[in-house]
Structure 1
Amino acid sequence: MSEINYERHKKGRYSDPSPYPEVKVLGPNLNYAEILMDDYAGVVSEFTAISQYLYHYFSFKQIDKELGELLENVAITEMLHMEILADTIKKLGGNPVIRGSNSALHDNFWSGKYIYYGTNLCKQLKADIDAEYKAIAAYQKHIYYIGDFHVQAILQRIILDEKVHISLFSQALQKFCGCQYPSLK
């Protein structure tokens, strides 16, 4: 089986320019796979981000073409993250179904209620920034819990893209709403 070229899916200014590490693991580890399920399709996850950003894109593209393109392309970058996580989960011996790790015991799969829909552009952009900060915090926590340096490198690289998204969303918030997102301390 040939390796997937993740670089070809990068979306220019919508992701960090550094390369993605090769998806590999020290060995099968179902515990690590379950931890990654939350990043993959939990409440704060790539699947939630993709769904939320696409919903916002459907509204934003009517308001401003560039703003619509921002949400569309960030969603595409998040799709790449989801693919990388799915491949990592599989290499760890897991099954990347659309659910978080906490859902496994309760057969409770991903839900559209995880999305912040909203109808106010400024509140939607703030929710998008907040989602990126929450994703970074979750990735950092999972880096701490996962003792596989290959998986840690993958998560650290994804964080770089999430920081780019915060910057881009913050610029849009300033441009369209005339305000800044309060920094999280």
Structure 2
Amino acid sequence: MNREFQYTAPGPYPQVHVAGCNRAYADAMLMNLGSCDSEMSAVSRYFYDGLILEEQWPQAAECFRKISMVEMHHLHIFGELAYQLGADPRLWCSSGRRMNYWSPACNRYSGDPREILTLALEAEEETIRCYKRQAGWIRDAGIVENLERIIQDEVCHVQIFRELLGELDRTSPSDASGCRCR
């Protein structure tokens, strides 16, 4: 892989601001922040994936590390939005009357490069669908602008994961089934 990827869409991020407190919007931002299908899950999963792929496919591991940093920026944006909307921006989300904390158990862990990439691609595609749904019903321009900008980054990540899957189809990284000291 000789190509340099673009991990974020071109252009600046919009200012993080909201029109005022709104519990429904805050709950949506908390879902993006700390549910099992959240930016926190992406950050932690990609951190893990980068470690797992380091020996067998260092270039892909580097992609996961860089994407994780972008996802951490998204995590920060959603935390700021949730806070400005009146929510406590812990790594949690609303489930009825209860708040559920994020857990590393949310992630599926794999050592297989194809499964790692497939899970990452599926998660990014679902994230895009979720953020588009939110942008469709939220009536706060500041939130919608941030969602739309983050979607652009997620599209970059989809393209990267698709390209890595294509690379995997053309040339397999070294076999990961060998014994490792633990």
In the superposition, relative to structure 1, how do residues 23 and 112 fare at CA in structure 2: closer, same or farther (>3 Å)? same
Aligned to 1:105: 97
Partners of 1:92 and 1:166 lie apart in 2 by 29
Deviations 1:60-96 (A, max 9, x none): 1111222111000000000000001111111111111
Aligned to 1:176: 168
Instruction: Tell me how far 1:156 sits from its aligned partner.
Output: 0.4
Matched residue type, 1:50? V
Aligned to 1:74: 67
Aligned to 1:6: none
| Aligned 8 A contact 2:18 2:81 in 1 | yes
Partners of 1:109 and 1:154 lie apart in 2 by 24
Instruction: Tell me how far 1:29 sits from its aligned partner.
Output: 1.2
Q: Which has the larger radius of gyration?
A: 2
Matched residue type, 1:67? A
Deviations 1:86-129 (A, max 9, x none): 11111111111111222x63343112222121121101100000
Question: Is residue 149 from structure 1 mapped to residue 141 from structure 2 by the alignment?
Answer: yes
Instruction: Tell me how far 1:25 sits from its aligned partner.
Output: 0.8
Question: Is residue 124 from structure 1 mapped to residue 116 from structure 2 by the alignment?
Answer: yes
Question: Is residue 135 from structure 1 mapped to residue 127 from structure 2 by the alignment?
Answer: yes
More helix as a share of residues: 1
Partners of 1:85 and 1:108 lie apart in 2 by 17
**Structural RMSD (CA):** 1.6
More strand as a share of residues: 2
Partners of 1:159 and 1:178 lie apart in 2 by 29
Partners of 2:109 and 2:103 lie apart in 1 by 13
Instruction: Tell me how far 1:178 sits from its aligned partner.
Output: 4.1
Residue number among 25, 32, 35 corresponding to 1:39 in the alignment: 32
Give TM-score, length-normalised by structure 2: 0.86
Question: Structure 2: any 5+ residue segments left out of the alignment?
Answer: 172-182
Question: Structure 1: any 5+ residue segments left out of the alignment?
Answer: 1-11, 180-185
Partners of 1:70 and 1:37 lie apart in 2 by 26
Partners of 1:145 and 1:100 lie apart in 2 by 19
Partners of 2:122 and 2:170 lie apart in 1 by 17
Aligned to 1:19: 12
Partners of 1:23 and 1:106 lie apart in 2 by 27
Q: Secondary structure at the match of 1:75?
A: helix
Give TM-score, length-normalised by structure 1: 0.85
